[in-house]
Structure 1
Amino acid sequence: MSLPANLQPDEASPYWLNKGDNAWQLTAATLVGLQSVPGLVILYGSIVKKKWAVNSAFMALYAFAAVLVCWVGWGYQMSFGKKFIHFMGRPDVKSLNEKFLLEQAFMGYLPNATMIYFQFVFAAITLILIAGALLGRMNFHAWMLFVLLWVTFSYTIGAYSLWCPDGWLAKKGIIDYSGGYVIHLSSGVAGFTAAYWVGPRANKDRERFPPNNILLMLAGAGLLWMGWTGFNGGDPYTVSTDASLAVLNTDVCTATSLLTWLFLDILFFGKPSVIGATQGMITGLVCITPAAGVVQGWAAIIMGFLSGSIPWYTMMVLHKKSWLLKQVDDTMAVFHTHAVAGSLGGILTGFFANPKLCRLFYLVDDWQHYIGLFYGLESGHHTAGFKQIGIQLLGIVFVIGLNVVVTSLICLLIRLVVPLRLTDEELQIGDDAIHGEEAYALWGDGEKYESRINSFYGGEDFPTAPKGEVQMA
């Protein structure tokens, strides 16, 4: 095949491009995307009451699409572009420029187009995780505005500060391998804060909120777990031994966490809970994320034990004793599974980060940074080890403060335009009142099924089955 006259061979495959790295990065990004669509779409749609299945799944799907438009429009440049202010990049439409997209990215042997795609799926899943705290009562129109504002004014600040080479916490040497702070701590705190402002679900929903399909919930959870291969395996931006280690550590920690949570459920409640095991899986994935490629296997197992027990304690015991936690209706317990587990992972990273592995990831030889306290004490670099713990704690304080303040301001601004919470009537009806659609179109036994969407498109409603009969399709 001959190339167009205006295209030289080195332009399609420049000297700096590594085809293996680029192929893996695109694959890793797609795996992370599958965690959201269809992963969390399925999980959210099946773990809630039947009447909330469509709304919950649609909140996730909308967020994925809306974040992409914001990300290529201005979000990526605000997160990884040229410095604008101390903690934020300059808003720019450069990400839509063909020349920029084909140039080498700030890290790795990849084009900017690949890096933008990879970083987008991380931004998208953060908003979808926030949605987990708001299921079953947030006004969908308010959610549409919330996504646009939060990814612009909160996510970009966290990503720039911790991940951009010019970020102030990045320069201090914080270790957040793949988003324990930027994604999970942020989403846990923002979700909890937004849940406070939106208000609780209807009383009946708070008292009883059974999943409508546990098997589908497990399918969504499985996509989440397997997709984490790209989540943590893609962050070295290269096909390296460090990427392989990150993937293995992720699975080991997750499995340990799931089994620990399962054991605690059996020990204290007498029954092995499938939903509980899923929560343990999620806390394990979250906890290992800031440390995935910079800790050894034994440390990953310890982190799994702690991520399966400490969030279990905060959710099952502390939550019932804390006045504040009981006041906020966090539907999916995002505070415990992401804020608590993310903070725990960040602190444990400060203890167990192996300086040799950190040098592989950060490509620096600096004993003043990137050394866990355990290795600092072992090697005589006590000051550096304690300093790393201090930096990790500083990152937690910053992310919490940022998300409480910015999320609160966004919610207060939105409610000047549209109500944050659905009306009482909509809360009672659910999907049909909000979208005119229902997840399970079943009827019979004297019930009438009204197809509003069918009527809208000019069709006829389905006939009503005679009383006492079940009408089959």
Structure 2
Amino acid sequence: MSSSAYVLPTDASPKWNNKADNAWQLTAATLVGLQTVPGLVILYGSMVKRKWAVNSAFMALYAFACVLICWVSWAHGMAFGAELLPFVGKPNHALGGKFLLAKSPVGYFPMADFVFYQFAFAAITVVLLAGSLLGRMNFYAWMLFVPFWLTFSYTVGAFSIWDDYGFLEGKIIDYAGGFVIHLSSGVAGFTAAYWVGPRISDDRQSFPPNNIILVLGGAGFLWMGWTGFNGGAPFKVGEIASLAIFNTHLCTATSLLVWLTLDMIVYTKSSVIGAVQGMITGLVCITPGAGLVDSWAAILMGALSGSIPWYTMMVLHKKSAFFQSVDDTLGVFHTHAVAGLLGGVLSGLFAKPKLLRTMYTDGNQYGPGLLYSFSEGESVGEGFRQIWYQLLGAGFIIVWNVVVTSLICIVISRFVDLRMQEEELEVGDDAAHGEEAYALWGDGERTWVPLRLHISPTIPSLCRRRFSIPLTTMNQEE
């Protein structure tokens, strides 16, 4: 068989299918998926106190599976389907063989690639949000929260900014989700943390990671997986994908080093957790402009993402009564909302007109980065207009997530407690799941009666049908 036969169209690879683009898109989607499973599963499970390791990792694993079922059942249509309203599409499934094997409208590969890639984006958004709620949210409430938030919040942001019919499409520069993913998860996580309530006092005062080496392992999956996160956004193998990947790692390394330097100057110690936070803010900040800015701009964005979120988290947060009143477990507001907003504004400042035209079919629909409106003879008015659009998009995402996340939490609270009971919070994983992360003696055997047997059921309305006598009463009689 001649070598040319491998590139000729076949029933399995139609004429419109570009094998290179198809292979890269599947690889990129897999890399994004690996950021969550196992990336954030490991990161969350090891970054929290030992008694919350199982619960935190399980929240991420559950969300990943739940989002996939919801995404292909109705949410993909709401995010990328036919217009229902200017900010959301019509609910529709993405399961038909004819639909999945047809050409994707955004690239030369099957629609199945696009559906799976966008699912991976949606899943990691929900799991990032969970970082604000670790260490106290009732798992049953989380099971309800995930599909509700995906349906009424994430799909709206994705449709409004990315879909051809969205009212902000063609106006907001958001290359791979600085607003749609990171600003929304940071704001929604902070809002949900307010409604769920804080951890118990002991956990807020002392919440050490249970395994820093695994923290680094999870962070590594997150960092390397971002190659697919930003490299897959152009939906083809080309110059923009290459530049986006290069800029992603350059910005991230810069941000990590700046955060680490500030820690050493202020606290005289180099913190591993601080370095991971700096890594995350760099990844987030470069996302909305990864393939649209020059590399010198990526370095500058890294310097700002390593310093401004550091200031809001390490200085402003500790001085602000407002921030102190809301228990954001892993500081998701700072690492994602602040860094995502920063990246979105900087993308409006540094986006290069040539790269915009290369990335988008009609690159002229976007104004030039404000900097280039001065330096390359572009219209200064268009540069300022683009900054205004970036701020408008950020405002829409912030307001929508505050309102919708609040409503979701209020509705769920009418059916199940958002926060675990105090007795359960004292115990942790064993109370929530009957499992613990580490067996510290024997082979996981216990020599005492598990504390969870003495805790009232999490969903009393369901359990009353099974127990005619309250467990606490039974224990007293014993």
* TM-score, with length taken from structure 2: 0.90
Code of the residue aligned with 2:73 in structure 1: it is: G
Closer, same or farther in 2 for the Cα pair 1:49/1:449, shift >3 Å? Answer: farther
1:265-307 C-alpha deviation (Å, 9 max, x unpaired): 0000000000000000000000000000000000000000000
Closer, same or farther in 2 for the Cα pair 1:271/1:175, shift >3 Å? Answer: same
Alpha-carbon contact 2:173-2:366 (below 8 Å) kept: no
Q: 1:58 maps to what in 2? A: 58
Alpha-carbon contact 2:356-2:366 (below 8 Å) kept: no
1:218-272 C-alpha deviation (Å, 9 max, x unpaired): 0000000000000000000001111000000000000000000000000000000
Q: 1:362 maps to what in 2? A: 360
Tell me the distance in 1 between the aligned counterparts of 2:155 and 2:95.
18
Code of the residue aligned with 1:274 in structure 2: it is: V
Tell me the distance in 2 between the aligned counterparts of 1:374 and 1:449.
67
Tell me the distance in 1 between the aligned counterparts of 2:230 and 2:112.
20
Tell me the distance in 2 between the aligned counterparts of 1:365 and 1:141.
46
User: How much has 1:57 moved relative to structure 2?
Assistant: 0.2
Tell me the distance in 2 between the aligned counterparts of 1:170 and 1:221.
32
Tell me the distance in 2 between the aligned counterparts of 1:250 and 1:240.
16
Closer, same or farther in 2 for the Cα pair 1:281/1:451, shift >3 Å? Answer: farther
Note the residue ranges of structure 2 that are not aligned, 5 or more in a row: 2-8, 454-478
Tell me the distance in 2 between the aligned counterparts of 1:375 and 1:451.
68
1:376 partnered with 2:373: yes
Closer, same or farther in 2 for the Cα pair 1:450/1:70, shift >3 Å? Answer: farther
Alpha-carbon contact 2:18-2:109 (below 8 Å) kept: yes
Q: 1:458 maps to what in 2? A: none
Q: 1:70 maps to what in 2? A: 70
Alpha-carbon contact 1:257-1:306 (below 8 Å) kept: yes
Runs of 4+ in 1 over 6 A off after TM superposition: none
User: How much has 1:10 moved relative to structure 2?
Assistant: 4.4
1:53-79 C-alpha deviation (Å, 9 max, x unpaired): 000000000000000000000111100
Tell me the distance in 1 between the aligned counterparts of 2:386 and 2:314.
31
User: How much has 1:165 moved relative to structure 2?
Assistant: 1.4
Tell me the distance in 1 between the aligned counterparts of 2:121 and 2:251.
21
Alignment of 1:231-380 (within 5 A): 231-366=229-364, 369-380=366-377
SS of equivalent residue, structure 1 residue 84: strand
Alpha-carbon contact 1:265-1:273 (below 8 Å) kept: yes
SS of equivalent residue, structure 2 residue 289: coil
Tell me the distance in 1 between the aligned counterparts of 2:367 and 2:209.
43
Alignment of 1:40-439 (within 5 A): 40-93=40-93, 95-171=94-170, 173-366=171-364, 369-380=366-377, 381-439=379-437
Closer, same or farther in 2 for the Cα pair 1:196/1:149, shift >3 Å? Answer: same
Alpha-carbon contact 1:72-1:96 (below 8 Å) kept: yes
Alpha-carbon contact 1:286-1:345 (below 8 Å) kept: yes
Code of the residue aligned with 1:43 in structure 2: it is: L
Q: 1:461 maps to what in 2? A: none
Tell me the distance in 2 between the aligned counterparts of 1:30 and 1:429.
36
Tell me the distance in 1 between the aligned counterparts of 2:10 and 2:393.
42
User: How much has 1:365 moved relative to structure 2?
Assistant: 4.5
Tell me the distance in 1 between the aligned counterparts of 2:136 and 2:107.
43
Tell me the distance in 2 between the aligned counterparts of 1:194 and 1:157.
18
Alpha-carbon contact 2:367-2:385 (below 8 Å) kept: no
Tell me the distance in 1 between the aligned counterparts of 2:434 and 2:317.
36
Tell me the distance in 1 between the aligned counterparts of 2:207 and 2:247.
34
Alpha-carbon contact 1:174-1:395 (below 8 Å) kept: yes
Tell me the distance in 2 between the aligned counterparts of 1:285 and 1:168.
27
Code of the residue aligned with 1:67 in structure 2: it is: V
SS of equivalent residue, structure 2 residue 209: coil
User: How much has 1:13 moved relative to structure 2?
Assistant: 1.4
Tell me the distance in 2 between the aligned counterparts of 1:448 and 1:244.
54
Tell me the distance in 2 between the aligned counterparts of 1:450 and 1:222.
38
Alpha-carbon contact 1:442-1:449 (below 8 Å) kept: no
Tell me the distance in 1 between the aligned counterparts of 2:433 and 2:362.
53
1:97-129 C-alpha deviation (Å, 9 max, x unpaired): 111111111201111111000000000000000
Alpha-carbon contact 1:376-1:382 (below 8 Å) kept: yes
Percent of counterpart pairs with the same letter? Answer: 66
User: How much has 1:85 moved relative to structure 2?
Assistant: 1.0
Q: Which moved more, 1:52-61 or 1:354-363?
A: 354-363
1:299-350 C-alpha deviation (Å, 9 max, x unpaired): 0000000000000000011101212111000000000000000000000001
Code of the residue aligned with 1:61 in structure 2: it is: L
Code of the residue aligned with 1:186 in structure 2: it is: S
* TM-score, with length taken from structure 1: 0.91
Alpha-carbon contact 1:175-1:370 (below 8 Å) kept: no
User: How much has 1:372 moved relative to structure 2?
Assistant: 0.2
Alpha-carbon contact 1:286-1:337 (below 8 Å) kept: yes
User: How much has 1:451 moved relative to structure 2?
Assistant: 9.3
Tell me the distance in 1 between the aligned counterparts of 2:181 and 2:449.
39
SS of equivalent residue, structure 1 residue 170: coil
Code of the residue aligned with 1:340 in structure 2: it is: V
User: How much has 1:136 moved relative to structure 2?
Assistant: 0.1
Tell me the distance in 1 between the aligned counterparts of 2:165 and 2:358.
20
Alpha-carbon contact 1:443-1:449 (below 8 Å) kept: no
Q: Which moved more, 1:105-114 or 1:243-252?
A: 105-114
Closer, same or farther in 2 for the Cα pair 1:450/1:116, shift >3 Å? Answer: farther
Tell me the distance in 2 between the aligned counterparts of 1:427 and 1:17.
53
Code of the residue aligned with 1:69 in structure 2: it is: I
Code of the residue aligned with 1:426 in structure 2: it is: E
